[in-house]
Structure 1
């Protein structure tokens, strides 16, 4: 995959994280050091793994790690919505951005086979 496309997935992840930060502001203070912090950590880990995959020659295990982190983040966001911390519209938009990153990852993985 050309470098330009690899950077595109990183930019999409970056945009998703920016949106996530805005959405996490709505979480109650009691969740600031628990679910909100865990969600932020997951977003950072996702970005770090995308950068790592971009730099590595053998990418297969890193792709798997990104896929796992994407799924973890999906569940954290879903939990925030289920507990009433995240309005459905924000949940929907955030999930859409996350799914776009997932689709780009799938294309990147396919291109490397």
Structure 2
């Protein structure tokens, strides 16, 4: 069985972002960094769970909120000068792509 594109994008995003978050200074690594990494894992787990769930809408709406929180946390990394602008832009593109796919999946489920 093939992965849904949103699951693969989220997996790829974690593979790219995890090393960056693990290199944050100690003052942020064990707070903001850990929260972000746990949120990413939670989003991936939620997407996989939603794939097999009969009632997907509640799960997907919750993940949409989680993704928005991640968006703000990423912006906070930039504002605190913890990541350069090019990494912020790349992360933002990933988050937006995942968000677009998630929004499409939600819309499709609501039309059923």
Same fold (TM over 0.5): yes
1:49 and 2:46 are equivalent in the alignment:
yes
Per-residue CA deviations over 1:73-108 (Å, capped at 9, x if unaligned) read: 111111111111111110110110111000011111
Aligned counterparts of 1:88 and 1:26: Cα–Cα separation in 2:
16
Q: Which stretches in structure 2 are left out of the alignment for 5+ residues? A: none
The Cα RMSD (Å) is 1.5
The residue that corresponds to 2:83 in the other structure is 86
Match of 1:16?
13
For 1:97, the equivalent position in structure 2 comes to 94
Does 1 or 2 have the higher relative contact order (CA < 8 Å, sep 6+)? 1
Contact 1:27 1:85 in 2 (8 A): yes
Q: Distance in 2 between matches of 1:25 and 1:86?
A: 12
Q: How many residues align?
A: 110
> Does the 8 A contact of 1:67 with 1:102 survive in 2?
yes
> 1-side partners of 2:87 and 2:65: how far apart?
23
Q: Whole-Å Cα distance in 2 between the matches of residues 45 and 17 of structure 1? A: 11
Runs (4+) of structure 1 exceeding 4 A deviation are: none
TM-score, normalising length: structure 1: 0.89
